[in-house]
Structure 1
């Protein structure tokens, strides 16, 4: 039985895109670059389109062919090639975690920084268990109770990146104030506990939290939620857009810059950090009345 073609993952797409960019900057065609490596057939094309693997020890020679010998660049791409086949902890939940979601978790795991605008629901990295279960149940209308519970476990497990030793994820989240006024009639304490969680998490030195006030000036966040993931070394940022049926990724440098510029304008329109914490604290106090 022939080997199944590997399904493209976001790690392989990032690696393939980087290698394609360096080849083009070197002015080399696919055939010329493949011949320089002694490769036969469309191997390089498959690598660049994320439909094939490149061995970690093949990365440096290929980059040298392109005239790229910067140690940081080589190390970053070798690491990405090594991790392309690596299974993460989320594979344990493969029965409920869709491939697109698994891609996002791998992005989040690899990232050194996340910037997120959340106008409708709190970012998963900031949610309590109860809030996670309630919001997943509301959106995943075709999931069983057991599947909802498993997805909530996944969401909480993702939060380990905020406290990982040595290099905790840098999180900068802008949340619309309307999200903080959401209520859960069947479980009235959910939002109170969630507000307390926001205050506690905002104390972490690697977390920046801002609220977009109801009375804000117009800003690009009106177009919807998005997440920007940044990575160590030379790897470009990736934008994630989510909807009811999954996630899509924006990976082109020019397209990503649109979202990066938009986030700066969103930050400028949001409440400062101190005012944000004061507002959350006030809402948390009211929730206890």
Structure 2
């Protein structure tokens, strides 16, 4: 795939919006901050709007100006400022990875944990290569075969966050509807056999919890559709990711996020336990000769 350099906008946007929030809470104008920092006023605006780089060495002084002394906050923002210009591992895939998907991959790279409810599919972080290709080919209806293969490769590569992330593996809690475990693919029944075995293998990881929502489950909020709750270390707020045929989008804000967190708790309560889910996956494999 072509090596296209994409602007690392998400981390810069998160940093800018956080700094703006702290400035406004301190009741400081952009002009006041610029004067105190020895900057041109337009620099404050550019930083807060993700149009300029924020030097990490200036973070402590700026936060002190805003009355922020929490060392965890200072360290977190310094780290984000340092990483704001980093190119993601997905950059060599160029425009095949859409802007919203690049944003999601950035969030996933920075996240502490993710809780996902999937009513129709195996979650991307738990998909085998063959399963991913079949699903992407069926759902990404505007993509060429070459793009489908590239996206399947991206999906498999991103799974390293579960096992090989330098700062520790991502914690994954996935609730999958039983219907997704009965999926069949025209090319080969082996695709689902491999996928179910892979689910059992992944469930052995200490940072991965998998539950199955049985066909006989009582009604629950997950009936509305797929959603994913992405959580970060302090001070970063939780983000909810939603998807549809045209891509994905994010929900932020304490009140809106709380709705999804409550919904996930009810989804978990309606699903089989982790141990019973493992047995159910095994039974489905045996029942279908897989």
TM interval, shorter chain, is over 0.9
- Residue matched to 1:46: 46
Q: State the distance in 2 between where 1:200 and 1:263 align.
A: 24
Q: State the distance in 2 between where 1:19 and 1:259 align.
A: 26
Q: State the distance in 2 between where 1:73 and 1:90 align.
A: 28
Q: CA deviation at 1:166?
A: 5.4
Would you say 1:25 and 2:25 are equivalent positions?
yes
Q: State the distance in 2 between where 1:8 and 1:48 align.
A: 15
Please say if residues 229 and 240 of structure 2, whose CA atoms lie closer than 8 Å, have aligned partners that are also in contact.
yes
- Residue matched to 1:3: none
- Within 5 Å, which residues of 2 pair with 1:42-191? 42-164=42-164, 165=166, 167-191=168-192
Q: State the distance in 2 between where 1:176 and 1:30 align.
A: 50
Tell me the matched-pair count.
284
Please say if residues 128 and 194 of structure 2, whose CA atoms lie closer than 8 Å, have aligned partners that are also in contact.
yes
- Residue matched to 1:233: 234
- Within 5 Å, which residues of 2 pair with 1:198-277? 198-277=199-278
Please say if residues 7 and 51 of structure 1, whose CA atoms lie closer than 8 Å, have aligned partners that are also in contact.
no
Q: TM-score, normalised by structure 1?
A: 0.92
In the TM superposition, what whole-angstrom CA distance separates every residue of 1:27-81 from its partner, at most 9, and x where no partner exists?
A: 2233333332222233323322333321212221111111112111111111111
Is the partner of 2:50 in helix, strand or coil? coil
47-56 or 60-69, which deviates more: 47-56
Q: CA deviation at 1:7?
A: 5.6
In structure 2, relative to structure 1, the CA distance for the partners of 1:65 and 1:104 (3 Å cut) is same
Please say if residues 192 and 287 of structure 1, whose CA atoms lie closer than 8 Å, have aligned partners that are also in contact.
no
Is the partner of 1:67 in helix, strand or coil? coil
Q: CA deviation at 1:152?
A: 0.6
Is the partner of 2:195 in helix, strand or coil? helix
Q: State the distance in 2 between where 1:47 and 1:166 align.
A: 27
Please say if residues 59 and 77 of structure 2, whose CA atoms lie closer than 8 Å, have aligned partners that are also in contact.
yes
- Residue matched to 2:3: none
Q: CA deviation at 1:99?
A: 1.4
In structure 2, relative to structure 1, the CA distance for the partners of 1:11 and 1:251 (3 Å cut) is farther
Q: State the distance in 2 between where 1:9 and 1:226 align.
A: 23
Q: State the distance in 2 between where 1:20 and 1:257 align.
A: 23
Please say if residues 15 and 81 of structure 1, whose CA atoms lie closer than 8 Å, have aligned partners that are also in contact.
yes
24-33 or 214-223, which deviates more: 24-33
Would you say 1:278 and 2:282 are equivalent positions?
no
92-101 or 20-29, which deviates more: 20-29
Would you say 1:34 and 2:65 are equivalent positions?
no
Is the partner of 1:183 in helix, strand or coil? coil
In the TM superposition, what whole-angstrom CA distance separates every residue of 1:92-143 from its partner, at most 9, and x where no partner exists?
A: 1114111111111111111111111111211110000110000000011122
In the TM superposition, what whole-angstrom CA distance separates every residue of 1:183-241 from its partner, at most 9, and x where no partner exists?
A: 11222111111111101100100001111122222221122111111122311111111
